[in-house]
Amino acid sequence: MKLRTAMNSLYSASVSLGSRTWRGFRATWRGRGKAGKGAMGEELTERAYAITEEDEPGLVELAAWRAPEDPPPTLTGLVRHHEVKPRDARLPARRLIVWLPPGYDTPGDTRRYPVLYMHDGQNLMDALTAFARVEWNVDETAEALVRAGRVEPVIIVGIYNTGMDRLPEYTHTATEKYPDAGRADLYGDFLVNELKPFIDRAYRTRPEGACTGLAGSSLGGLVSLYLGMKYPDTFTRLGVISPSVWWDERDILGRVAALSGPLPLRIWVDMGTQEGDHEEAETVEDAARLHQALLEKGWPEDDVRYTVYEGAEHTEAAWSARFAEVLEYLYPARGGSMRAATSGE
Q: Where are the domains of the chain?
A: 2-66, 78-330
pTM for the model: 0.79
Q: Could you give the 3-state DSSP secondary structure of residue 3? A: strand
User: CA-to-CA distance for 28 and 45, rounded, in angstroms?
Assistant: 9
pLDDT at 74: 79
CA nearest to 117, candidates 185, 200, 32, 7: 200
CA nearest to 251, candidates 277, 225, 216: 225
Q: Could you give the 3-state DSSP secondary structure of residue 333? A: coil
Write the CATH number of the domain with boundaries 78-330.
Answer: 3.40.50.1820
pLDDT at 1: 42
pLDDT at 21: 43
User: CA-to-CA distance for 307 and 18, rounded, in angstroms?
Assistant: 55
Provide block-wise average pLDDT over 10 residues at a time, the chain (345 residues).
42 52 48 44 44 50 53 84 97 98 95 98 95 95 98 98 95 97 98 98 98 98 98 98 97 98 98 84 93 98 97 97 98 67 38
User: CA-to-CA distance for 30 and 33, rounded, in angstroms?
Assistant: 8
Instruction: Determine contact, residues 213/247, Cβ cutoff 8 Å.
Output: no
pLDDT at 70: 59
Beta strands in the chain (DSSP E): 2-5, 10-12, 21-25, 28-29, 34-37, 47-51, 59-62, 64-66, 78-84, 94-100, 115-118, 155-159, 212-217, 237-241, 266-274, 304-313
φ, ψ (nearest 5 deg) of residue 54: -70, -20
Nearest 5°: the CA angle 286, 233, 156 is: 75
CA 155 to chain centre: 17
DSSP-assigned beta bridge partners for residue 36:
65
Helix then strand then coil, in percent of the chain rounded to 5, is 30, 25, 45
pLDDT at 28: 54
Helices then strands, counting H and E runs in the chain, come out as 8, 16
φ, ψ (nearest 5 deg) of residue 22: -115, 135
Distances from the Cα of 333 to the Cα of 130, 149, 336, 339, angstroms: 29, 6, 5, 12
